[in-house]
Amino acid sequence: QVQLVESGGGLVQAGDSLRLSCAASGRTFSTYDMAWFRQAPGKEREFVAGITWSGWTMYYVDSVKGRFTISRDNAKNTLYLRMNSLKPEDTAHYYCTARRGTGVVVKIPGPYEYWGQGTQVTVSS
């Protein structure tokens, strides 16, 4: 069992930056592929970024490439999402999620086993 707790969201202006964190419980964090998804009101949950258990492979949705960076610190059991140049369309509830590591970043929510409660990011224009 893995418990995930996100933090770092908030209300910012367009062009600002935020760093989201996801603290994971347990001693097996380093064996899980991790990802960030987001969901805006009235929209489906969307893949944002993912990273394999080793940290060697990362993927991003096209709309955040060059602005967001996913990273992990296995020694601290923590996943991060650095978000720069935020836009109003980035406004959403952001979720951290985990699945047993396969070395493949999955971009749909179904295969992920564990989810946090999420943190809200609101970007004003």
pLDDT in tens, the chain (125 residues): 899 999 999 999 999 999 999 999 977 899 999 999 999 999 999 999 999 999 999 999 999 999 999 999 999 999 999 999 999 999 999 999 999 988 899 999 999 999 999 999 999 99
Please name which of 95, 87, 92 lies closest in space to residue 116, comparing C-alpha atoms.
Answer: 95
Alpha carbon 59 to its chain's center: 11
Q: What is the reported pLDDT for 94?
A: 98
Dist CA 112 CA 108 (whole Å): 8
